[in-house]
Amino acid sequence: MNNYIIKVLIISILVLFDFSILTSENNISFRYYKYLHPVHLSFTNIEYFESEKKFKILFKIFVDDFDKIILNKYNFDLGFQKDKKNDGYKEFTNKYIKSNFNLKINDNDISKNKLIYDSHIIKKDDATVWLYYSLSFKGNATKFEIKNTLMTDLYPDQNNLLIFNYKGFQKAIKFDNNHVSEIINLN
């Protein structure tokens, strides 16, 4: 085989398995993402619990995509694909979520300071990470503004599906690169 064909084969294999190169001072290693999927999709559920006076927010993201975006943006390996958590995972998870998700209530941006990371679970059966957050809120809301740009800076075809529940009101919203925010008026 000539060199051109060998180079094309190597590049094709790297693209097929979504390889990336990790470098350090003395070490170069190849890393591949175990779970390949043709759809770039996240799911968010926002639900208000009156008895607790808080919103519970669940983000469901493909674990390989989430590891990849944190590595690309912050040069930090979460370790989620390896079933471990590297020290600092909460800091970088919060940094990414808070910069790409926002909830305003009655024109007050309360999510920047009050959005609290609760926990995460890695689901091996569907190769996702579930990030659990909460947001305390007392009072009556009549207007919500939701911004969701999760993973859109990594994939131009990213879709983010969101289900919103507040005191019996429900709405489903699809976010993408062309639609990153939505206003919900309850009046």
Q: At 8, is the pLDDT very low, low, confident or very high (cuts 50, 70, 90)? A: very low
Is the pLDDT confidence value at 184 over 90?
Answer: yes
Measure the CA angle with vertex 110, ends 41 and 163; round to 5°: 30
Tell me: do 107 and 179 sit in the same domain: yes
pLDDT of residue 120: 87
Question: How many domains is the chain built from?
Answer: 2
Tell me: do 26 and 93 sit in the same domain: no
Is the pLDDT confidence value at 100 over 80?
Answer: yes
pLDDT of residue 31: 40
pLDDT of residue 187: 85
Tell me: do 59 and 107 sit in the same domain: yes
Average pLDDT over residues 164-173: 96
pLDDT of residue 28: 38
Tell me: do 142 and 76 sit in the same domain: yes
Tell me: do 100 and 28 sit in the same domain: no
Tell me: do 79 and 95 sit in the same domain: yes
Is the pLDDT confidence value at 125 over 60?
Answer: yes
Measure the CA angle with vertex 38, ends 32 and 44; round to 5°: 95
Range of the domain at 162: 36-185
Tell me: do 58 and 139 sit in the same domain: yes
Is the pLDDT confidence value at 158 over 80?
Answer: yes
Average pLDDT over residues 110-133: 87
Tell me: do 82 and 51 sit in the same domain: yes
Tell me: do 91 and 3 sit in the same domain: no
Tell me: do 64 and 89 sit in the same domain: yes
Q: Give pLDDT tens digits for 23-76.
A: 334 343 334 344 456 789 999 999 999 999 999 999 999 988 999 999 999 999
d(CA 118, CA 143): 25
Q: Give pLDDT tens digits for 17-34.
A: 443 334 334 343 334 344
% of the chain beyond a pLDDT of 70: 78
Tell me: do 28 and 41 sit in the same domain: no
* Mean pLDDT value across the chain: 82
Rounded to 10 degrees, what is the CA torsion of 59, 62, 63, 66? -70
Average pLDDT over residues 164-169: 96
Tell me: do 46 and 114 sit in the same domain: yes
Q: 73, 76, 78: which is closest to 129 by C-alpha?
A: 78
